[in-house]
């Protein structure tokens, strides 16, 4: 793959993280006024429509993307991602964008730690050391020894664990199922699950919030489209480190739009976690 394509892939990944950060900000704004289940449900309606339309245009159409070697795992991972989004949006309303993302970015370290028992991958001592250092970074963010630990900080940690398991299951099914198959189940199963839950909490979106809801749906579709294009132009290992840019983008949005503040321990802890995460990504690339 050419350097030019890799540079384009990196640029697209940077743009993707910016769009997803904006999506998180809009989700937080709407979740402050409406039930989280309703916000995520409507978002999934449009996402599923995008996935189905995209899948129908592929060779073989919908019949090809429905075929999977792992039907139960595909259904489970689709449901898991939908519920993880609910948990993370709740975290936005409890802690804000900045602190939620600072804690959530430990998910690559959880993936590295669980890749051994779940996928049978070898995790060497260097990666285990990086995982340990990353967890120290999380503790710096949570600051439990100072007596100011918030139980709400558990929420983004749960979200990170759910997303890590989703990522590992995605890797597992990728051994036999193509990315188009996994993408189809991600959108459609998530829509079914969120509709089954959200219908019991329905409330109409009114006034200018209709525009925000429309923008949320558009950013969701645009973000995933950009992510697909990113992987069309560059290998995942080359662009994945730039996914961490979502943290500064979300933090900047949190401070500018929601008046959040960046505490010193959160900044230091986030740098430690990101550094450990980048090291594990580098080690995985070296091993590959």
Q: What is the pLDDT of residues 88-120, one digit of tens each?
A: 999 999 999 999 999 999 999 999 899 888 888
Q: What is the pLDDT of residues 27-59, one digit of tens each?
A: 999 999 999 999 999 999 999 999 999 999 999
State yes or no: pLDDT of 146 exceeds 80. no
Residue for token pair 């339309």: 53
Q: What's the whole-number average pLDDT of the chain?
A: 91
Q: What is the mean pLDDT of residues 118-133?
A: 85
In this predicted structure, what is the pLDDT of residue 2? 54
Asked if residue 137 lies in contact with residue 106, where contact means CB atoms within 8 angstroms, the answer is yes
The model's pTM is 0.91
In this predicted structure, what is the pLDDT of residue 232? 86
How many degrees, rounded to 5, is the angle at CA 23 between CA 17 and CA 131? 50
Q: What is the mean pLDDT of residues 251-267?
A: 93
Q: What is the pLDDT of residues 192-229, one digit of tens each?
A: 999 999 999 999 999 999 999 999 999 999 999 999 89
State yes or no: pLDDT of 243 exceeds 80. yes
Running DSSP on this structure, what letter comes out for residue 120? Answer: -
Q: What is the mean pLDDT of residues 189-194?
A: 98
State yes or no: pLDDT of 9 exceeds 70. yes
Q: What is the mean pLDDT of residues 278-283?
A: 86
In this predicted structure, what is the pLDDT of residue 144? 65
Taking the domains of the chain in order of start, what are their residue ranges?
A: 3-287
Q: What is the mean pLDDT of residues 253-277?
A: 93
- At residue 269 the predicted structure's pLDDT band, cuts being 50, 70 and 90, is very high
Q: Tell which phi-psi region holds residue 60, choosing left (phi > 0), alpha (psi between -120 and 50) or beta.
A: left
Q: Where are the alpha helices (DSSP H) in 122-263?
A: 125-142, 154-173, 179-198, 209-233, 236-239, 246-258
- Which of the pair, 56 or 146, is modelled with greater confidence? 56
């Amino acid at each position: 793959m050419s350097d030019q394509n890799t540079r384009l892939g990196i640029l697209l990944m940077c743009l993707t993280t910016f769009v997803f950060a904006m999506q998180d900000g809009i989700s937080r704004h709407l979740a402050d006024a409406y039930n989280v289940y309703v916000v995520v449900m409507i978002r999934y309606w449009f996402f599923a429509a995008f996935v189905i339309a995209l899948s129908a245009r592929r060779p073989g159409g919908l019949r090809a993307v429905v075929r999977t070697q792992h039907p139960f795992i595909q259904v489970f991972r689709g449901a898991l991602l939908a519920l993880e989004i609910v948990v993370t949006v709740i975290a936005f309303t409890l802690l804000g964008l900045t602190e939620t993302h600072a804690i959530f970015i430990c998910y690559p370290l959880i993936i590295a730690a669980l890749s051994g028992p779940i996928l049978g991958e070898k995790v060497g001592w260097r990666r285990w050391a990086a995982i340990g250092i990353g967890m120290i970074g999380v503790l710096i963010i949570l600051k439990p020894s100072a007596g100011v630990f918030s139980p709400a900080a558990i929420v983004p940690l749960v979200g990170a664990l759910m997303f890590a398991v989703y990522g590992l299951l995605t890797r597992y099914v990728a051994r036999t199922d193509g990315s188009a198959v996994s993408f189809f189940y991600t959108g459609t199963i998530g829509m079914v699950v969120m509709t089954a839950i959200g219908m019991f909490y329905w409330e109409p979106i009114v006034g200018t919030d209709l525009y925000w809801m429309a923008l949320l749906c558009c950013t969701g579709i645009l973000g995933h489209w950009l992510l697909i294009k990113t992987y069309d132009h560059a290998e995942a290992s080359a662009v994945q480190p730039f996914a961490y840019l979502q943290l500064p983008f979300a933090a900047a949005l949190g401070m500018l739009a929601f008046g959040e503040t960046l505490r010193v321990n959160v900044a230091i802890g986030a740098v430690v976690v990101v550094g450990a995460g980048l090291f594990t990504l580098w080690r995985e690339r070296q091993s590959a």
